[in-house]
Structure formats: structure tokens, C-alpha cells
Homo-oligomer: A and B are copies of this chain.
Amino acid sequence: MDLSTVQIPVERVAHSKRSEVDFNHLPFGKVVTDHMFICTFRDGSWQDPRVVPYQPISLDPSAKVFHYGQTIFEGMKAYKDTEGKVWLFRPEDNQRRLNISAKRLAIPEVPKEIFMEGLKTLLKTDQDWIPTAPGSSLYIRPFVFASGKGFHASPADEYTFIIACSPSGPYFSGKVSVRIEETYSRAADGGVGFAKAGGNYAGQFYPTQLAMADGFQQVVWTDDHHHEFIEEAGAMNIFVRIGNTLLTSPTSDRILDGVTRKSILQLAEDEGIPTEVRKIRVRELVEASQNGTLKELFGAGTAAVVSPISSFGYQGKRYELPDLENSYASQFRKRITDIQYNRAKDPFGWRFPVE
């Protein structure tokens, strides 16, 4: 296939399901659009990219994704501005990160042209599905999984790359309180924590259920050695504000290099907010909370955008965060969403037109 001239054929649905959807009360990630993009890796190359009606996937029971969790994904959003123009936010970063994940999971990399042309063709096909109600957007889920067969713990010989879309409302409803994890871990040194690998998420479900049973919404992961340093949350990187300083953990092979995280770091620099990217001890959070210098804790991610955290739990105690006017979280949320929805200038070149 000549990648310089990728042409993506589109097979349209006979009847759109769009009229069945209440766009003013959208849940997160449950409603799907009419179409999906699909492409298959077979005989050593990615083949047959196309947009087709959203439809079930048929797989042999020995497909390796079922057994060895050989699967990676991305999370992106498309935004519609008041003039109906469609925008993505730093999509090439997601494309690059998908391939970083692919490499670590022994999945063949997806050529940039296929990713970008597939995505654009799909978005143009389903552009009427992009919601415009405040706080809503089109969540986009590119994923690649091992569709090749065999009960043998080794990489598959066939992979399927799909992009699906879901018009979605906010990820969290209400305040977010987090538990700082002291027992379970998300990632090992030398492991796959930096990749958006399926298994990283399944491993979080049980500890998160335990946290939820105690009244939290998310877990903040810590290092697996001594649970001494905070790392990130289930689907968000974590920021801390102590005094006026903004802190976040450095990325590593255990932490996802979030697009929202790095955008916030750039905005902070732009606004002259003193920032430190360094390891953050749990003890430091607790002490700052006790002496009143802990001003904010917030999560940052494509799905959750910027989500203020109202309290954290640690060693059986709850630490409340103050309710600030004009918080860093609210400032960053506004600046990022203004850029995403084309309501403000885009000095960094993050906005990407779908046309």
C-alpha cells in the first residue's frame, strides 16, 4: 500500500441511529456513533483501511487478545466550535504514543498516515455526532489488539486497529476524592506502566473497587517499592499545588506521559506559575495539608479534562482540600477547553482542524 496516497473507502450505514440519542444527557463512553474505522495487520503489513458501519467483531476463541491481553489504546476527543468546525487536540501526540505503546507490547506500529487519515475520514463521516452541549465532546477510542490465533504465549501474527467514537458528557459527576494507595500497585519498574496497555487498567479495577467501597472515586497510585511517592491516578496524571507552586511527578517507565499533563506544564510556564517536576512524597502532601499550604490537588487527562480533587485518604484518614476561588485547576481547565473548542487563540499550535 502506498501510504502517501492513503484512500479510505467509506461504507455508510443504511439508517443512522443518531435520532435515537439524547445529546443533552450523554453518559461517558456508552453511546457509539454510526461508523468505525478498521484496518488489519496481516502477512507483515497493515491492510485494507476503511470506514464501515459500527458492527460486532468476530474472533476465533484462541485470538491472543483474549488470553494474553495483547492490546493497546488511545483516548482523544473531537470538539465542535460554534461555527460547526471540528477540531482535535494534539492528535499527533496520541498517534506517537500509540506507537510507543505498540513497541512495548510487541504490536506492529500503525503508520501515521493510516492513523491520521483513518481518524479524519471517520470524523467527517460521523461529524453530526459531535455534541455541542457544554462539557460534552466526541470521545475517540483508537485501539489495536491481537486478533491472531493460538494458545501459545507469544505475539500474534494478526492485529486489528479500530477507531470508534462515543459522544460523551463529563467523565466524573460531582466531586472527586481519591485514596492514596498503600497496598496495591499499578506498575513495575521496567514494566508497561508508561504504555496505554490494556492490562494496566484491568489491574486497577479491584483496588479501585476497594477504594470506592470506602467512599473514594479513584486511586492515586504510588511506587510499588514502599508506596512512598505519588505517581498518577487511574486515567489521569496528578498535580499538586503547595503554596503557589505547582508540582507533578516526572514521567517514567511507570507513568503515562499524558497529553493534558504536558499541556498544563506548558500553560503554567506561559503564565509564570512556579512549577516543579519532581518526585512527590505522600508525607509531603500530608504535612502540607496539616500546615495549611496544600491548596489544590487535581487530575489531568483527556477524559477527565482537569478534575479538582476535593479530598484524599491516606492511612485511614481523610484530608480535605480547600475550595478555592480562581484555582489553578479552574484556570487550566478554562484555558485548555477554550483552545479545544476554538474559543481562544492557540499560541502553541495544539488545535488541529479536521477538514
- Using CB atoms, name the residue of chain B closest to A146: B202
Within the complex, the shortest CB–CB distance from A31 to chain B, in Å, comes to 10
- Set of chain B residues within 8 Å of A73, measured between Cβ atoms: 66-67
Q: Is the CB of B164 within 8 A of A62?
A: yes
- Set of chain B residues within 8 Å of A151, measured between Cβ atoms: 28-30, 139, 141, 164, 166, 168
Q: Which of A198-233 contact B (CB under 8 A)?
A: 198-206, 208-209, 224-225, 227
Give the CA-CA distance A152 to B171 in the complex, in Å: 9
Within the complex, the shortest CB–CB distance from A276 to chain B, in Å, comes to 26
Q: A67-B198, A105-B202, A199-B203 are in contact. List 16 more A-B contacts (CB 8 A).
A: A29-B152, A56-B59, A56-B60, A67-B73, A69-B69, A69-B199, A69-B200, A105-B205, A106-B209, A139-B151, A153-B201, A188-B189, A190-B224, A192-B199, A199-B202, A225-B225
A88 within 8 A of B: no
- Using CB atoms, name the residue of chain B closest to A144: B66
Q: Is the CB of B71 within 8 A of A66?
A: yes
A173 within 8 A of B: no
- Using CB atoms, name the residue of chain B closest to A151: B29
A51 within 8 A of B: no
Please choose the segment from A115-123, A179-187, A283-291, A346-354 that sits at the chain B interface, where 4 or more of its residues have CB less than 8 A away: A179-187
Q: Is the CB of B56 within 8 A of A143?
A: no
- Using CB atoms, name the residue of chain B closest to A210: B106
Within the complex, the shortest CB–CB distance from A98 to chain B, in Å, comes to 13
A5 within 8 A of B: no
> A: which residues have CB within 8 A of B?
28-30, 32, 36, 54-62, 65-71, 73, 103-106, 139, 141, 143, 145-146, 149-155, 162, 164, 166, 168, 181, 183-192, 197-206, 208-209, 224-225, 227, 234-235
Could you list some 27 contacts between A and B, CB below 8 A? A28-B152, A29-B152, A36-B61, A54-B61, A57-B58, A57-B61, A65-B66, A66-B71, A66-B143, A67-B71, A68-B201, A69-B197, A70-B205, A106-B209, A139-B151, A146-B202, A153-B201, A154-B208, A155-B205, A184-B191, A187-B191, A188-B188, A191-B191, A198-B199, A199-B199, A199-B203, A225-B225
- Contact (A164, B202) CB under 8 Å given A66-B143, A106-B209: no
> Among the interface residues A29, A61, A234, which one has the most CB atoms of the partner chain B within 10 A?
A61
- Using CB atoms, name the residue of chain B closest to A104: B206
Give the CA-CA distance A194 to B246 in the complex, in Å: 38
- Set of chain B residues within 8 Å of A200, measured between Cβ atoms: 69, 199
